[in-house]
Structure 1
Amino acid sequence: MRTFVDVGGRQIALYQGFDAERVGAPVVVLPGAGLVGLDFWSIATGDTVLYDRGGTGWSDDVPLPRSAGDVAIELKQALPPGPWILVGHSLGAVYARRFAQLFPADVRALLLLDPGHEDLFDYLPPEAAELNQALKADLPDLTAEQIRAAREAYSRLLAAWPPDVRAELVDYHLSQWRTSLRESAGLESDVYPEVRSGGPVPDVPTTVLTAGAGNPAWATVAPPALVRQALDGIHKLHATIAGQSSRGRHILVEGATHQYLHIEQPGVVLAALAQLAR
């Protein structure tokens, strides 16, 4: 399932050739920070390419963080000619929109899963900036007990994955969990301004799925009222993103969480993909 393509002397891991029912159009999934291609196995069909960005997963290492343009160019060079339906999750949605700015002819549609966005803080209460920084704080190494608990949690979360894929993926997450912090370190300072000044996103069919339960980690650093305000702001932002396309749709996925919407509600994601492929 895993193959490698050379991009500027760097090996980029691709995953394709899945046996599930075809969506009907080529799809490429851009994972969120801390996730890799195989985390999206549950929504992969025969037309889907999953991949690991440089510096993540089984692709060669590169210094992190990276610019959105670097990520987009790398993906362009790794893929056959489009157009593609881009499925971008969280930070991956920001990269997907940068790809669309740079290579509009290669984009058939956009499916954005609880996306980040350069205007995010315009929609959040002022206290959310502190909440954001608290979530980015560096953490000590995991204890043996934490590793055991995390392994059990990941194994339950990925129970539907093939056993060999699940085992490899769980081991990766337990050893490389800091990658998320490194990859997103320049998001507000560099990546958001880059996309903001990067030109228009093509007017292609766009569906935005919002995780109704938000990010459970927020509840560990903020009171319920602030979490609710932040969620309301994100819902409004996502509706605005969808409204910027003449063929935009915004869907609130009740009960789904930010990091694992595609695992908790794969049917919703596959239905959205099928609609975009028509």
Structure 2
Amino acid sequence: MLHRSGSGGPAVVFLPGAGLVGLDYLNMHNRVAELTTTVLYDRAGTGWSEAAVLPRTAAEVTDELLELLRAADVPGPYLLVGHSLGAAYARHLAQRFPGEVAGLLLLDPFHEDLHARVPQEVRDRLKELESQERPSPTEEQLRFGRSQMAPLFASWPETVRDQLIEHHLRVAWRAGLRESENVYDEVAEELRRAPALPDLPLIVITALGRDATQDQLWSERVLREIHCTTRALHADLASSVPRGEQRILDDAGHGFLHEDRPDAVLQAIADLLHRVEQ
């Protein structure tokens, strides 16, 4: 699935986080379309794209994305906007194909050293969650889920809103879990083995605000430790290139920071477009 709007270049390409799909970024996509060409897409095995066996390697995902953009006649180099796991893929594409990337905006990105540096109780809890069975939600759970998600997606067009909510409740969360199964080992090792990031404009946005999913998983103390570690790793990532910058958002959560603070995300995209032109 690929949805393209706007005109001009460089084209902005959104890479969703695990458990999210291209249409989750539709509002931001529509605003960016006033500035340049912008592209939403779903990776194979997610959203409305064709099925694929998950998880996949970062190399498979990035090869596929470049092939898709060329087939859709979207010329590079691209300004990649990667969120969470999508940010890891965006980084890997820039590491492998530096000539294809004009700039990077990483939204609360996955970092390959995060798993090793968080408290042991976090690693233990994640391992426990991986081993648990995940039955399909009951009708009562689906009704509750709809009531919780309706306010989040209230500003989406009616033509996609209900389908998007149902997709999240029935399909997307399960695909997100499968996509994430190789993140801490295989994808992390791919990032470590790849060449260093090229000298390109880079903004890393770190989200330190409340997030409903994280609040359910971790205590306040553990969340503070995770945020402290994430902030430091993101700072290191931003400083790894001469034109790198970290921006902190204390009022945005991890999952939908582009909706919690759309102004900050749009400003970062505009700033990168300006820097690319210089």
Using the size of structure 1 for normalisation, the TM-score is 0.89
Displacement after TM superposition at 1:24 (Å):
5.8
Displacement after TM superposition at 1:135 (Å):
4.8
Displacement after TM superposition at 1:134 (Å):
4.3
Distance in 2 of aligned mates of 1:209 and 1:123: 20
In the alignment, does 2:144 pair up with 1:149?
yes
Distance in 2 of aligned mates of 1:134 and 1:266: 34
Residues 191-210 of structure 1: matches in 2 within 5 Å?
Answer: 191-210=187-206
Tell me what 1:10 maps to: none
In the alignment, does 2:86 pair up with 1:92?
yes
1:184 alignment partner, SS class: helix
- What are structure 1's unaligned runs of at least 5 residues? 1-12
Report % sequence identity: 43
2:181 alignment partner, SS class: coil
RMSD: 1.7
Distance in 1 of aligned mates of 2:102 and 2:14: 13
In structure 2, what residue type is equivalent to 1:91?
L
Tell me what 1:9 maps to: none
- What are structure 2's unaligned runs of at least 5 residues? none
Q: Is the Cα–Cα contact under 8 Å of residues 94 and 197 in structure 2 kept in the other structure?
A: yes
Distance in 2 of aligned mates of 1:174 and 1:220: 17
Displacement after TM superposition at 1:208 (Å):
0.7
Residues 58-69 of structure 1: matches in 2 within 5 Å?
Answer: 58-69=48-59
Displacement after TM superposition at 1:131 (Å):
3.4
Residues 73-152 of structure 1: matches in 2 within 5 Å?
Answer: 73-79=63-69, 80-136=74-130, 137-152=132-147
In structure 1, what residue type is equivalent to 2:122?
A
Tell me what 1:242 maps to: 238
Displacement after TM superposition at 1:190 (Å):
1.0
Tell me what 2:23 maps to: 38
Displacement after TM superposition at 1:211 (Å):
1.1
Distance in 2 of aligned mates of 1:200 and 1:186: 21
Distance in 2 of aligned mates of 1:48 and 1:197: 30
Distance in 2 of aligned mates of 1:181 and 1:53: 14
In the alignment, does 2:208 pair up with 1:212?
yes
Q: Which has the higher helix share?
A: 2
2:151 alignment partner, SS class: helix
Q: Is the Cα–Cα contact under 8 Å of residues 197 and 240 in structure 2 kept in the other structure?
A: no
Q: Is the Cα–Cα contact under 8 Å of residues 123 and 234 in structure 1 kept in the other structure?
A: no
Distance in 1 of aligned mates of 2:139 and 2:4: 35
Distance in 2 of aligned mates of 1:94 and 1:122: 16
